[in-house]
Amino acid sequence: MEHSTRKVAAVFIFKQGDTYLFQKRTHTGSCDGYYMLPGGHIEAGETVREGGVRELYEELGVTVDPQDLEFKLIIINQARVYFFFLVKKYTGTITNREPEKHGDLSFLPVTAPDIYPTIPKELAAIEAGVTFWEYQ
């Protein structure tokens, strides 16, 4: 029997009115030039929430209690498992702590130019109450 190995990532939703926090990817080799929701890979030995809290601090400089990450959606494809969380509360000031990977950090509407094409669909699914999405 063949087993598949998928990376696990946490994706974070910061919402202000009709806008969401986006990072513009640069020099990463993956999705460069697109605005993406903040997120990162979970390391071995971490729970998804523990890794998410670590990633939020590393990338954005904010501290989040794991209980303030509200699960919204899981997406599974051939390479990754993505856990989407709404960040309900945080302390600190959102800052681009990885400028070598993210050229911009802004609250934008999902209709803004250069938003990665799947993100509006993912956020619409979350708004519709979808919690599981799997695709090839």
* Chain segment 35-46, per-residue pLDDT in tens: 999 999 999 999
What's the pLDDT at 70? Answer: 98
DSSP notation for 47-108: -HHHHHHHHHHHHH--B--GGGEEEEEEEE-SSEEEEEEEE---BS----S-TTTEEEEEEE
Express each pLDDT in 78-119 by its tens digit.
899 999 999 999 999 999 999 998 889 999 999 999 999 999
Domain count, the chain: 1
The full length of the chain comes to 136
Burial 119-133 (b: 16+ CB within 10 A, else e): beebbebbeeeeeeb
CA distances to 11, 78, 129 from 40, in Å: 7, 17, 23
* CATH number assigned to the domain comprising residue 95: 3.90.79.10
Under 8 Å between Cβ of 54 and 111: no
Domain region containing 109: 7-134
Q: Provide the residue type at 123 as one letter.
A: L
pLDDT at 1 over 80: no
Give me the pLDDT at residue 136, please. Answer: 73
Tokens 């979808």 — which residue? 130
Q: Is 1 inside any structural domain? A: no
Given a cut of 90, is residue 5 above it in pLDDT? no
Query: What confidence score (pLDDT) does residue 26 get?
Result: 87
Does residue 30 sit within a domain? yes
Q: Is residue 39 part of a domain?
A: yes
